[in-house]
Amino acid sequence: MKTLLKLNVIVFLFCFLGCASTIAESGKDFSYQKKFPIEIGKTTKAEIIDQYGSPTNTEIKGNYQILAYGYSRESLKHGRAVGMGLLSAIPGVGLATLAMDQGVKDDDMAREFKLLCVYTDFKTGVVKDYYYHDSDNVGHDESETLNLKAMALKRKGGKNKECTELLEKAISLNPRNHRALNSLAWELIDSSTDVDKGVSLAIRAVEVFPDSPYNTGTLGVGYFKKGDLENAEKYLDQAVKLYPIYEPGNVKSLQHDQEMLRLVREQKNKH
């Protein structure tokens, strides 16, 4: 019995170390179909499902039924070996736990993800917004890819000028990419580089997709920096109300806009 158990574990480890380095996997792998362009205001929920199958998750938020297709995988980076001490592991313990117990550091892990998120009108089923993002910072089009690269560069401490140039190009490729519009608007407003231009961009982002708390929040902060307290209160109040509906998990951003709204009202009361 012990010999059989050990043999099973050896086979298990051979597959784990030699055949496949996957440690954790979630969702069903898929490919974003650029040959099947999703058209906002035209493509329907039924067409999305016909092309991609049943979504990983479906939920209703506000005015939309959101279809999410997600896939993620964690694996060992090439060339990283795990000690044979795994042979003594107790069957049933997860692969990730086994790997970590053998000294595999977080830096040794490769993480892959894909996410296609489609906002369809709850009543008509028509697509109102969508995006595809993956772990290689590739978006559903070149504009979105540049937006993702700009945000990745920003997180790594990249220079504002480099981020701005990427976002400017993203907007030139797709003037209705509200995520890129909002990203550049926030960059200009938050740094006080060009608040007027930032507000203009934020207005465009809100016009394209008014239900985004990020878009309305950015516009509210922009108006606050311009000294337009009426509009600042209007859009920050909208953002604070939209977060619980569309982005309930982003507590940090909600708290930021709540604090900004408090400051706006405090200043209004002084006048």
Question: Would you list the domain boundaries of the chain?
Answer: 1-136, 141-271
pLDDT at position 83 over 60 = no
* Contacts of residue 97, Cβ cutoff 8 Å, sequence gap at least 6: none
Which H or E element spans position 2?
helix 2-14
Closest CA to 242 of 117, 45, 64: 64
Compute CA distances 146 → 56, 152, 177, 266, whole Å. 26, 10, 11, 39
The CATH code of the domain at 141-271 is 1.25.40.10
Confidence class for position 165, pLDDT limits 50, 70, 90: very high
State how far the alpha carbon of 150 is from the alpha carbons of 159, 168, 200, 242, in Å: 10, 10, 20, 25
Q: Is the pLDDT of residue 148 over 50?
A: yes
Give yes or no for residue 158 having a pLDDT over 90.
Answer: no
Beta bridge mates, 121? 64
| pLDDT for the residue numbered 205 | 99
Statement: residue 91 has pLDDT above 70: no
- Sequence-distant (6+) residues with CB within 8 A of 33 are 51, 52
Name the residue type at position 9: V
Does 2 have pLDDT greater than 60? no
Residue-level pLDDT at 9: 38
SS3 assignment, position 98: helix
Q: How confident is the model at residue 85 (pLDDT cuts 50, 70, 90)?
A: very low
Rounded Cα distance, 144 and 179, in Å: 8
Cβ-based neighbours of 269, under 8 Å, separated by 6 or more = none
- Cα 256 to chain centroid distance, Å, stands at 19
Confidence (pLDDT) at 106: 54
- What is the mean predicted confidence (pLDDT) over 242-265? 97
The pLDDT-based confidence of 86 (bands split at 50, 70, 90) is very low
Q: Compute φ and ψ for 57, nearest 5 degrees.
A: -150, 145
Nearest alpha-carbon partner for 110 in 186, 21, 43:
21
Question: Can you give the pLDDT at residue 78?
Answer: 56
Question: Higher confidence at residue 66 or residue 106?
Answer: 66
Does the pLDDT at position 44 exceed 90?
A: yes
Task: Answer for the pair 147, 167: CB distance below 8 angstroms, yes or no.
Answer: yes
Phi, psi of 186 (to 5 degrees): -65, -40
